[in-house]
């Protein structure tokens, strides 16, 4: 994310404090936005206060707000300053509404696209309790920013339908048949957080679970730390990271796959793999203890460049400090790694 984008989100976080104070005071009496009319209320607030025409929908305990705008992207395909202002307004509206409704909203998701290029989207996801904790200063502004999931990606449903339409064109199918096939086989609610989006007047929204939100945060923080921390940048070249949460009959676990290449080792006596895994476990520790989440058995990691799997128990993650126990003593591996 550009520095200007980070600054804008931090400003929004500060502005939300006042909004939350007001919303919590008002919601202690009568909900300003009853759950029966929540999407309609959001559309009305955006129209009256910001002259923005939005769409809104609920999926379980997740609220979605969509806004198509002119000039989302600048000439360098970055987010324009004007677009940041509008995204900030959407976040403020979402924060105010979810704290002044009797609907059980745990997460909200703001989706924006450029009117000229709807195949590209910006998605912001926040956990409602984080807004409250930020207001009470239980978490810092920087931590509040880290707990916000922000992504710029190709609209998943658009990518899917564009590929299918190429086949339709080759087959010469008529419009009615195309719509029937798309509705039957290619249009459904997303199963992953990364599939959330909006396409052709339809939300592709899911009821976000705490587990998938946490794993997305772990992955996001791995990317941020290994890309921006000067100490880590000296030793590693970040390529990619992805994650999932699995709940099976006898086990619940996080899976983190990553490609983080070791740079040429310096004169310092340091085991780069130990340092790398220790950083990933430290990130998991910060996220999971920050949310007091203990309902899992272990975390599995897969170093895709080394083709090695690693495991660390939930208790070792929760109690992790390098001073107490070296990382190699708490992590099991599928092959010699450290």
Question: Would you say residue 321 lies in a domain?
Answer: yes
- Residue 334 is predicted with a pLDDT of 92
The verdict on residue 29 lying in a domain is: yes
Say if 161 falls within a structural domain.
no
Return mean pLDDT, the chain.
89
Together in a domain, 150 and 7: yes
The model's pLDDT over 73-90, given as tens digits with 9 standing for 90+, comes to 888 878 999 999 999 999
148 with 252, same domain?
no
* pLDDT class of 283 with cuts at 50, 70, 90: very high
Q: What is the pTM of this model?
A: 0.87
pLDDT band at 24 (very low <50, low <70, confident <90, very high): very low
Give the model's pLDDT for residue 26: 46
Once rounded to an integer, what is the mean pLDDT over residues 211-228?
97
Q: How far from 139 is each of 17, 98, 120, 300, 320, CA to CA, in Å? A: 12, 19, 32, 28, 21
Q: What is the predicted pLDDT for the residue at 263?
A: 84
Name the domain count of the chain. Answer: 2
**Residue 201 included in any domain:** no
pLDDT 10s digits, 110-137: 999 999 999 999 999 999 999 988 887 8
pLDDT for the residue 111: 98
> What pLDDT score does 18 carry?
46
Residue 311, Cβ density class (10 Å: 0-12 exposed, 13-18 middle, ≥19 buried): middle
> Average pLDDT of 96-105?
93
What is the DSSP code (8-state) at residue 101?
A: B
Q: In this structure, is residue 169 part of a structural domain?
A: no
Question: Where does the pLDDT of residue 5 fall: very low under 50, low under 70, confident under 90, or very high at 90 and above?
Answer: low
Q: Please indicate, yes or no, whether residues 135 and 226 belong to a single structural domain of this protein.
A: no
Beta bridge partners of 154: 120
For residue 102, being part of any structural domain is answered with yes
In a domain, 250, yes or no: yes
Average pLDDT over residues 236-252: 95
Domain span at residue 251 reads: 211-333
Q: What CA–CA distance (Å, rounded) separates 189 from 108?
A: 16
pLDDT greater at residue 23 or residue 270? 270
- 124 and 255 in one domain? no
In this structure, the answer to whether residues 10 and 81 fall within a common structural domain is yes
Q: What is the pLDDT of residue 197?
A: 97
pLDDT for 12 = 54
**pLDDT level of residue 323 (50, 70, 90 thresholds):** low
Q: Is residue 178 part of a domain?
A: no
> What whole-number distance in Å separates Cα of residue 18 and Cα of residue 228?
31
């Amino acid at each position: 994310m550009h520095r200007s984008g980070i600054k804008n989100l931090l400003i929004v976080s500060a502005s939300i404090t006042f909004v939350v104070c007001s919303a919590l005071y008002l919601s202690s009496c009568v909900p300003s936005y009853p759950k029966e009319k929540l999407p309609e209320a959001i559309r009305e607030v955006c129209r009256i206060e910001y002259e923005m025409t939005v769409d809104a929908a609920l999926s379980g305990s997740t609220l979605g707000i969509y806004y198509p705008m002119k000039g989302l992207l600048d000439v360098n395909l970055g987010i324009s300053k004007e677009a940041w202002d509008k995204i900030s307004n959407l976040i403020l509206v979402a924060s105010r509404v979810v704290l002044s409704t009797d609907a059980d909203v745990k997460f909200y998701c703001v989706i924006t696209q450029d009117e000229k290029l709807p195949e590209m989207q910006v998605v912001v996801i926040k956990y409602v309790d984080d807004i409250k904790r930020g207001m009470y200063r239980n978490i810092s502004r920087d931590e509040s920013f880290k707990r916000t999931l922000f992504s710029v990606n190709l609209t998943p449903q658009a990518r899917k339908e564009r590929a299918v339409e190429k086949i339709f064109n080759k087959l010469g199918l008529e419009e009615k048949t195309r719509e029937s096939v798309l509705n039957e086989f290619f249009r459904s609610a997303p199963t992953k957080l990364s599939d959330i989006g909006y396409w052709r007047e339809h939300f592709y929204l899911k009821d976000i679970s705490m587990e998938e939100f946490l794993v997305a945060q772990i992955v996001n923080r791995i990317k941020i730390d290994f890309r921006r921390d000067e100490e880590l940048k000296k030793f590693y070249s970040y390529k990619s990271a992805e994650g999932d949460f699995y709940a099976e009959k006898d086990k619940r676990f996080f899976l983190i796959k990553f490609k983080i290449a070791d740079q040429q080792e310096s004169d310092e006596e340091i085991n780069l793999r130990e340092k790398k895994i220790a950083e990933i476990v430290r990130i998991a520790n910060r996220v999971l203890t920050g949310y007091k989440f203990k309902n899992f058995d272990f975390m599995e990691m897969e170093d895709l460049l080394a083709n090695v799997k690693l495991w660390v128990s939930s208790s070792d993650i929760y109690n992790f400090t390098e001073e107490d126990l070296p990382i190699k003593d708490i992590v099991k591996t599928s092959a010699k790694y450290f």
